[in-house]
A and B are shown apart, each in its own frame.
Chain A
């Protein structure tokens, strides 16, 4: 057996061994990553899908503090009226 063939066999053996030790854990890791992705996508796209954005509820108490800054921002951005139905600054 050539040196290259032996090296590739050894690499295959250690690759399989690594795979064997990870087999039991892959599902849990996949689930943890999927949970993080689900939360991210929900935050980004929930309103596009017709679902109220849960962040809106949790940041409700910031509303009075942000109202004036938001009003100034939509005026500067060229919108006379508030573009969001649920933020009624004017």
Chain B
């Protein structure tokens, strides 16, 4: 089957979802009002609350939510064949992610632009706030560990990508100073930055001595080194992790405008550039799908593990934080929420879709696919490399040489992951500080204590799991934990939206069904992983770190479920809820300043 037809069918489904389902949700469920005074107008302050045109806000929202995660998850999930992956991405995006992102935006707009964390606090009290903080804490720890592992691996496998990635740092610093002092538009300088970075990538691909190949410097794969007697690949991994964490420590303690914002800006250009190249390349090359629709021999089975392997790209709780954190404060008209929220989710779905297509067309034969995706562990650790190869093939259709394209794709993924790492460590610092306040541990509120703790925990998480192929090979094992915590966050948001709908006397099924499905799949998949895989009760040896983390996440999932049952079943709780989410919020008193989880 030709991949173009698959992509067209999926994009058509996205279009129909946008055209019909999102309209149904907007008109019949959320009942958007064109004349509703949004927080951007009511609390307009020129800083946080600024009415913004809908397509401009959509561009901001889409580039904020799409990154490396919708690439990593679908690439791993290709283990079960492209059928289950594409079905979950398409159906998840249309019926879960779109409704979730759209709903988080509307819920926040109807409550003074407050974040999901604040709304959870108002709804269920301090317990919900702590639950929320712990889930975000675990989610961010997983993001840090997985992305640090991803970057180190891409640096080891694509040494030509290191120099252009490093070059982005001084360029971004220069940008930061230029923009804050002179208020210039950033478009032209960011395009110049891209040309410099991509020019360097072409150079480093072709000039071997410009490649920072640590494995080669340590004597080549398999050679033993003086560094803790590790082999060359493990030593290279250790060095990259130390360098990355040192970088992220410094980067996350700088003011955001100095490094993070300019990097975000350049990355947004790269996202659009990458998507155009990949979809353009797909149309030109029109490759055949060589991967099977369904990998019948896959163990463990796709059900229910698929639903925690692909989080971003199908549904992601992180989007709720963005929607209720910044986008809701800038919505010009309430009716714009459909474009910003629903279409923003479709944008990320389109990124996940092209990832699946790139991997499904990378292999020459089905046998090659089956041997490359021989086991789930193999799929998890090597899938990103297959995406880089597949994307390079698609880009080749536009005349970009395959080796240069591979460097460019690796460069883009590393840039996304590094910026996410910076933001995530920053958020982790705020959350550790907030927990320090809650539990009266003032030391935790200090910037460097909290950052050291955040970076230290990340280091432990990324180096401890054992992937069976030496030091640092097990970082991918954390991916299902990332997916699970992300889905739990989405579950909380869907629960809050459903409760609001119940309070409004509307049909809560469009949000309740995805919530129940997500929680059920998450609890099922995590129970299977914790009890049969990581505890040592099954065939595999015990993995204590994963067992403890998985058990904690499972505990949080059950906690959410109990809270939901209590709120939906108990008349007293429903009455308390009605009082706490009294709607609409007509007071002109401005909302509280941004809380820890919202600031960067």
Contacts and interface: CB of A to CB of B under 8 A. Distances in A.
B256 A28 contact: yes
Given A14-B187, A28-B600, A23 B60 contact: yes
Contacts of A28: 255-257, 261, 600
B565 interface: no
B250 interface: no
Interface in A3-52: 14-34
Contact of A25 (B46, B56, B261, B269): B261
A20 B261 contact: no
A23 B57 contact: yes
A17 B179 CA distance: 16
Contacts of A29: 179-180, 257, 261
Contacts of A31: 47
A37 to B, nearest CB: 12
Contacts of A24: 60, 64, 264, 326
Nearest to B185: A18
Contact of A32 (B53, B55, B255): B255
Contacts of A26: 47, 50
A22 B265 contact: yes
Contacts of B186: 18, 21-22
Contacts of B63: 20-21
A27 B256 CA distance: 11
B47 A20 contact: no
A19 B265 contact: no
Nearest to B53: A16
Contact of B265 (A14, A21, A33, A34): A21
Interface residues of A, number: 21
Contacts of B55: 16, 20
Contacts of B180: 29, 32-33
A31 B45 CA distance: 12
Nearest to B56: A20
A15 B59 CA distance: 12
B288 interface: no
B52 interface: yes
Nearest to B184: A18
B403 interface: no
Contacts of A21: 59-60, 63, 186-187, 190, 264-265, 268-269
Contacts of A19: 52-53, 56
Nearest to A14: B187
A25 B264 contact: yes
A15 B60 CA distance: 13
B48 interface: yes
A87 B239 CA distance: 57
Given A17-B187, A20-B56, A24-B64, 6 more contacts: A16-B55, A18-B187, A27-B50, A28-B257, A29-B179, A30-B47
Interface string B180-222: 1000011100100000000000000000000000000000000
B58 interface: yes
Nearest to A18: B187
A16 B56 contact: yes
